[in-house]
Structure 1
Amino acid sequence: MELDGNALAGDLAEVFTAEMTSARFTCAGCRHADAVATLRVWNRAPGAVARCPNCGDVILTLVRTPARLVLTLTGTARLDLPL
């Protein structure tokens, strides 16, 4: 089931103090830039996978374990956070 980037809001709030759904990402693959809320999110796996709405590349993955939250931003060329 595909969700939008708003599905990441709670988990990302534990990592960042800024409102992350309004933060802007730039895809490392196609250079598309938009709000995190526009990402296409799949969260049926052990974690969440967020993909670029333009090209489908993986922008970020987020996995919650009992001891930590693991966030990878491999597909993100840039992340602009609101102040």
Structure 2
Amino acid sequence: MRAETARSIVDGNAAAGMLWDVFGTDVTGSIAVCGGCEAAAPLAEAVVELDETAAIVRCRSCTHTLLTVLRDGERVRLVVGALREIWR
């Protein structure tokens, strides 16, 4: 049986390291547009469920999952959800 991992509910700034691993730069200041409600806000303002293996980034306005970053050892995966666009 697998033990539960500790999970935190934080803002998008806490996911900066995992997002850096995907994009190679700090994208927390980039504007994310939600495909669910069309809200546009910096990724730093998103709601993030975070543990040592994943960051689930949700729209603060409607809670749709914008994207998920998954870390498996040395590999990092980005799964795009309701993220319509991202821009600087």
TM range (shorter): 0.7 to 0.9
Residue 27 (1) aligns with residue 27 (2): no
Q: Distance in 2 between matches of 1:17 and 1:65?
A: 17
Q: Distance in 1 between matches of 2:29 and 2:15?
A: 11
TM, length-normalised to structure 2: 0.82
Q: Distance in 1 between matches of 2:20 and 2:52?
A: 20
TM, length-normalised to structure 1: 0.87
Tell me the equivalent position of 1:65. 72
Sequence identity (%): 31
| 5+ long unaligned stretches in structure 1 | none
Q: CA deviation at 1:45?
A: 7.5
User: RMSD over aligned Cα, in angstroms?
Assistant: 1.5
Higher CA-based Rg: 2
Aligned length: 81
